[in-house]
Amino acid sequence: MVDKEWVFVLGAQDPEMREIERTLRRAARPFVHAAQRNSRCIPRTAYDADGVIRVSRAGQALPTVLLPAQPAVFVECSIARVPPSFRVDHHHPGDPGYDKLPHDYLDGSSVGQVLRLLEMEATETQRLLAAADHCLTAAYQGACPGIDPNELLFLRASWQGLMSRRSLADMIDGIRESKKQVVRHFDSELGEALFLDPTEIPPDLAEGAALAGKPVRYRQLLPDGTVKEMLKGAAPPHIERFMEQHRSAGRDVYGNPHRGYAGAYY
Domain presence at residue 1 = no
- Predicted confidence at residue 3, as pLDDT, reads 81
86, 113, 140 - which closes a domain: 140
Domain presence at residue 95 = yes
Domain presence at residue 180 = yes
Same domain? For 236 and 178 the reply is yes
Same domain? For 158 and 249 the reply is yes
Helical (H) or strand (E) element with 171:
helix 168-185
Same domain? For 181 and 131 the reply is no
Same domain? For 247 and 161 the reply is yes
Same domain? For 161 and 124 the reply is no
Report the CATH number that the domain containing residue 213 is assigned in CATH.
Answer: 3.10.310
Judged by DSSP in three states, 222 sits in coil
Per-residue pLDDT of the chain (266 residues; tens, 9 = 90+): 788 889 999 999 988 999 999 999 999 999 999 999 989 999 889 999 999 999 877 778 888 988 888 899 999 999 988 999 999 999 999 999 999 999 999 999 999 999 999 999 999 999 999 999 999 999 999 999 999 999 999 999 998 998 899 999 999 999 999 999 999 999 999 999 999 999 999 989 999 999 999 999 999 999 889 999 999 999 999 999 999 999 999 999 999 999 999 999 99
Does pTM top 0.85 for this prediction?
Answer: yes
Residues 6+ apart with CB under 8 A from 255: 231, 239, 242, 243, 261, 262, 263
Q: How far apart are CA 161 and CA 61, in angstroms?
A: 26
Domain presence at residue 157 = yes
Same domain? For 190 and 243 the reply is yes
Same domain? For 19 and 120 the reply is yes
Quote the domain boundaries for residue 257: 149-265
- Predicted confidence at residue 61, as pLDDT, reads 82
Q: Please, what sign has the CA dihedral across residues 149, 154, 159, 160? A: positive
Judged by DSSP in three states, 93 sits in coil
Same domain? For 128 and 223 the reply is no
Same domain? For 93 and 212 the reply is no
Domain presence at residue 156 = yes
Distances (CA, A) of 131 to 17, 26, 108, 178: 14, 22, 9, 21
Same domain? For 164 and 217 the reply is yes
Domain presence at residue 67 = yes
114, 140, 166 - which closes a domain: 140
Domain presence at residue 182 = yes
Same domain? For 131 and 184 the reply is no
Give how many domains the chain has, as a whole number. 2
Q: How far apart are CA 195 and CA 211, in angstroms?
A: 17
- Predicted confidence at residue 20, as pLDDT, reads 97
140, 166, 185 - which closes a domain: 140
Domain presence at residue 2 = no
Same domain? For 156 and 201 the reply is yes
